[in-house]
Chains A and B, each alone.
Chain A
């Protein structure tokens, strides 16, 4: 029961961070600002959601898969954020000169 409540709280906080990331994506003025808001808030939101769902998981295999999902999303989101930022900077340089 206490574990369920803890898991629910973790998932709810994760959803809050997702909403915060979306608000940042909508309200920030600049592509790089939006990138900053989205990547970090989403990464934290997904990490908390994974933790909460892992607390609710039934078997060890499910926990392993949840950890794999978290690992892949964290890695790919870091790489993609870097790639997008480099693309934006390159486009700005090409337009400025």
Chain B
């Protein structure tokens, strides 16, 4: 069980690495922010699985904070871009 969950964790990490390639290559700033949204969602999923693997229910609270902060970054980006301050 723990081994299988760890393998799934590694798969999710590889998926985040793919998003990092988009951050490096992406021509538009909006696409870089999309990758940031991917990081937020994938890191929440990883923390959920980690809370089972490490038997630490406190990681669920960390995931809750991550879920709320990921939205704030994207809203900040859109508001600043609408004002013209890139």
Partners in one complex: yes
A interface list, Cβ under 8 A from B:
4, 8, 11-12, 14-15, 18-19, 21-23, 25-26, 31, 34-35, 38-39, 42-43, 45-46, 49-50, 53, 56, 58-59, 61-62, 65-66, 68-69, 72-73, 76-77, 79-80, 83-84, 86-88, 90-91
Which residues of chain B have C-beta atoms less than 8 A from A43's C-beta?
41
Q: Interface on chain A toward B: helix, strand, loop, or mixed SS?
A: helix
**A79 nearest in chain B by CB position:** B71
A31-B30, A49-B48 given. 20 additional CB < 8 A pairs? A8-B5, A11-B49, A15-B11, A19-B11, A19-B14, A19-B15, A25-B19, A46-B41, A46-B44, A62-B51, A65-B61, A65-B64, A69-B60, A72-B71, A73-B40, A76-B70, A84-B33, A84-B74, A84-B78, A86-B78
Q: Could you tell me the distance between the alpha carbons of A43 and B19 in the complex, rounded to whole angstroms?
A: 16
- Top 7 nearest A-B pairs by Cβ distance? A76-B71, A22-B18, A80-B74, A22-B15, A83-B78, A42-B41, A65-B60
